[in-house]
Amino acid sequence: MAIYTLEDKRTSILLLGGSRHSAEMAIRLRDREIPFSIYLSFDDAHLFSMSDLPVLPPHLIPFLNEVVSTISDITIPPDIIMDCLPVAAELKIPMIHEVAEEFPQALIMSSTLACTATEIMHYIQDSHDVIGFGFIPNHTGTTNIIELTKGLNASEHSLRKIESLMNAAGYACEIVEDRVGLVMPRILATLMNEAAFAFLEEVATRDDIDAAMKSGVNYPHGLLEWADIIGLDTVLSILDALYAEYRQERYRPCILFRQYVRARWIGKAGGKGFYTHASGFA
């Protein structure tokens, strides 16, 4: 594992899992010349299986030299364990817990699009400080701002350390309260949900909805197009988590999101969503 110098302290970063979210963060770290490793467990759902052997999906091929498949392959203890998956806490706790137990000194940086940092800390019994962040696939990778939050029992020092790391990765950081979906992702997912309902109810065509938002509100993308870019599975995960947390009707996901994800129409990464895309990978 390579080491990156940050404020005169050697800092090692370990990305968890083989998802496209991890791959996108790896691109960001690589482009900023921040070394990292990617830890995959044998039963990682993002690995393809052929002849009972795990096979790397296309989005991980560029990082073949950074991939480790067993904890024993991690020769230098990481200072930061980074989880980019926008899923409920209980779905990612097994891998976080496995690595955190092995490296008790590490800070944990976890996507809090579908949970809170405090919830992650609860599951691991406050054994590590957890800093949440709003990493949105195909959006955060190209923007220069990112939201950070800390678990209620995490230290301010840990938050500032992660803020320094994100600054080094080219981000300006906004510190927000520890809430499901944080701020921008929560608002954006809610708007996309309303656009999907408008499309489902035939209030307007898909193209007209997106044209109205680009021309009338000056959004960089139409909301349905933007949902495809981010990934309908990611948007659905955020909405499900918001609805579970608040039980408010405005967060109830449009059935189109659930049906499309069931069909593996996850948007640009899968080749099909609200739009059909030339190519993609699941």
Do the domain assignments include residue 32? yes
Q: State whether 112 and 190 are in the same domain.
A: no
pTM for the model:
0.89
pLDDT tens, the chain, 282 aa long: 344 444 435 578 999 998 889 999 999 899 988 889 999 876 665 565 544 556 778 888 999 889 998 888 888 889 999 999 999 999 999 999 999 999 999 999 999 999 999 999 999 999 999 999 998 877 655 678 999 999 999 999 999 999 999 999 889 999 999 999 999 999 999 999 999 999 999 999 999 999 999 999 999 999 999 999 999 999 999 999 999 999 999 999 999 999 999 999 999 999 999 999 986 544
Helix axes 184-200, 206-216, angle to 10 degrees: 140
**Domain end residue (candidates: 175, 199, 216):** 175
Residue-wise pLDDT tens digits, 166-197 = 999 889 999 999 999 999 999 999 999 999 99
Q: State whether 144 and 194 are in the same domain.
A: no
At residue 110, φ and ψ (nearest 5 deg) are -130, 140
Closest CA to 228 of 259, 272, 194, 280: 272
What is the domain count for the chain?
2
Which CATH number belongs to the domain containing residue 115 in this structure?
3.40.50.720
Q: State whether 161 and 246 are in the same domain.
A: no
DSSP track, 155-220: -HHHHHHHHHHHHHTT-EEEE--S-TTTTHHHHHHHHHHHHHHHHHTTSS-HHHHHHHHHHHS--S
